[in-house]
Amino acid sequence: MNDDCLFCKIAAHHVPATIVRDDGDVLAIRDINPQAPTHILVLPREHVESAAHLTAEHERLWGRILTVAQEIARDEGIEAAGYRLVSNVGRAGGQTVAHLHVHLLGGRQMTWPPG
């Protein structure tokens, strides 16, 4: 756990959040500032800064994150219509919380390109 990291604090239940899934290794929380009717963040409990910091040792964890995202999309009822998974990396990528997370966005028509 990184004591300065918001998502580590949420994973440790030191900061409140709406947790929709916690399987020990992977956590899913509702985004505090939703950009779509469904906006959930899927993240590892382990502090990994971003997708750029994943190593070969994280391959299973990364796969698990995507599986959880897929399952939640099903639970949220957005699977059939489609949805977006995105992970911002670094400053120019638009990352504001330096703990790896995948945004699951759905419930409306997404546009491309993103801002």
101 as an active site residue: the answer is yes
The site string for ligand AMP over 9-48 (x = CB under 6 A, - otherwise) reads --------x-----------x-xxx-------x-------
Beta carbon nearer to Zn ion, 6 or 85: 6
Interior angle at CA 13, CA 26 and CA 19, nearest 5: 50
Residue 45's contacts (CB-CB under 8 Å, 6 or more residues apart) are: 11, 24, 25, 26, 27
Beta carbon nearer to ligand AMP, 5 or 56: 5
Residues 95 and 50: beta-carbon distance below 8 Å: yes
Binding site for ligand AMP (CB under 6 A): 6, 17, 29, 31-33, 41, 88, 94-97
